[in-house]
Amino acid sequence: MNIIEILRADYKQFPLNQTYDIYADDVYFQDPMNKFRGIKRYQQMIQFIQTWFSNPQLDLHGIQKIEDTIKTEWTLSWTTPLPWQPRISIPGWSELRLNSQGLINSHIDYWHISRLDVVKQHFSR
């Protein structure tokens, strides 16, 4: 399987059974809430999502590779464990950069909505 097929499969089964060996050990990760380096920390973040939130889902809308960059368009959603069980949805995109070995060494997520809009979803439904 090539990296695009692996990513498609990972998005489909997210957050379960992710393929971590497509990432460099010192991968840089950033999103509007986090910034860190290292595959272990990345695995911990995915484990946190799997443990804390109900029914996490990552819908892939598009994926393209141009030279050493892969761009994905997606919507991440989950149910927050509050008494009223709000369903949260974050549309966004990722830019994944590949190193000379073909491993992802930079994974930067961008959101189409603000962090405040995410917080508001917890109280507006």
Q: Tell me the CATH number at 49.
A: 3.10.450.50
Interval 44-86: pLDDT, tens: 999 999 999 999 999 999 999 999 999 999 999 999 999 999 9
Structural domain of residue 58, as residue ranges?
3-94+104-121
Q: Count of domains in the chain?
A: 1
Give the mean pLDDT of 9-35: 97
Kindly state whether residue 99 falls inside one of the protein's structural domains. Answer: no
In angstroms, the Cα distances linking 77 to 3, 34, 42, 49, 88 are 24, 17, 18, 11, 5
Kindly state whether residue 39 falls inside one of the protein's structural domains. Answer: yes
Q: pTM surpassing 0.85?
A: yes
Interval 90-118: pLDDT, tens: 999 999 999 999 999 999 999 999 999 99
User: Residue 117: how many CA atoms within 13 Å on its side-chain side?
Assistant: 9
pLDDT at 89: 97
The values of phi and psi at residue 116, to 5°, are -60, -40
Structure confidence at residue 125 as a pLDDT band (50, 70, 90): low
Give the mean pLDDT of 18-36: 97
